[in-house]
Amino acid sequence: MARVICVASGKGGTGKTTISANLGVALAKMGRETIVMDADITLANLELILGMEGLPVTLQNVLAGEADVSEAIYEGPGGVKIVPAGISLEGLRKANPDRLEEVLMALLDMAEFIILDAPAGLEKSAIVALAASDEFLLVVNPEIASITDALKTKYIAEKLGARMLGIVVNRVTKLSVEIAKKEIEAILDGKVLAVIPEDPEVRKAAAFGQPVVIRNPKCPASKAILELAGKIAGVEVKVEEKGGGFRRLLSIFRRR
């Protein structure tokens, strides 16, 4: 039975799609059957950052009742399975977001983890994704607007019965105006599971349609995402700049 984990935020652009894709690839590389589903059916991006656009059957077709979800599962990088949302405007008009939970039910026996890349905000498709999940990761940037918006999402998600797995602080720089991890934990009343630095490798990888954890597993953002995957999978992954930990992790990657 899969754990359904929604990657959510309040504000847009905090890094949900980047984290969903790379976390999914990292879990798959650790040998865990993982499906990443693009639940952002209005502004689908997952297939773009993975270089998988133009697939024939997508979640749009499934939510429109035109196809079975098994037809919309594709093999992605590192062995992760991807359910793309589809980018056609006509397809979007026909898709019924209320079917998402029923679609997920059909996937529960197919994987250990189902990662849902949620839309920003609290419109219907975001609510449906949170309601269909057991757990959620709250992705914030270290700015006050991002954190206050995330608080609203957390409140609604918990009302819908999802449990907060933890907070992911993304795009962290060393600027003194940024809100510190301790303050974020206090405001959002939860634990920060990962601090992902601002890293130019992330955008480079996206521009090439490749997950950064595969394109450059040693860069700082990849290391933070790989450690996050280890925490979620319950695998001790000690990623260190020097010493054996990171080398050990890389060897896991090479073996697969």
DSSP-derived 3-state class of residue 81: strand
Which amino acid is located at 91 in the chain?
Answer: G
Which of 9, 34 has the CB closer to ligand ATP? 9
Give the whole-angstrom CA distance, residue 93 versus residue 91: 5
Q: Which is nearer to ligand ATP, 8 or 66 (CB)?
A: 8
Q: Which of 196, 234, 222 is nearest to 78 (CA)?
A: 222
| Interface of this chain with ligand ATP, residues 196 to 215, rule: CB under 6 A | 196, 198-199, 202-203, 206
Residue 9, interface with Mg ion (CB under 5 A)?
A: no
The site map against ligand ATP for 33-72 (x = CB under 6 A) is: -------x--x-x---------------------------
Q: Segment contacting ligand ATP (CB under 6 A): 15-23, 128-136, 178-186, 237-245? A: 15-23
Q: Is 18 in the site for Mg ion (CB under 5 A)?
A: no
Nearer of residues 45 and 61 to ligand ATP, judged by Cβ? 45
3-state helix, strand, coil in the chain (%, to 5): 45, 15, 40
202 binds, among ligand ATP, Mg ion, none (CB under 5 to 8 A by kind): ligand ATP
Positions 214 through 253 that interact with ligand ATP (CB under 6 A): 221
Q: Which of residues 43-102 bind Mg ion (CB under 5 A)?
A: 45
| Contacts by residues 197-202 (CB-CB < 8 Å, ≥ 24 positions apart) | 197/171, 197/172, 197/173, 197/221, 197/224, 198/171, 198/172, 198/173, 202/18
| 120 binding ligand ATP? (CB under 6 A) | yes
Residue type, 87: I
End-to-end CA distance of the chain: 24
Q: Are 120 and 12 within 8 A, CB to CB? A: yes
Size of the site for Mg ion (CB under 5 A): 3
- In the complex, which residues of this chain contact ligand ATP (CB under 6 A)? 9, 12-18, 40, 43, 45, 120, 170-171, 196, 198-199, 202-203, 206, 221
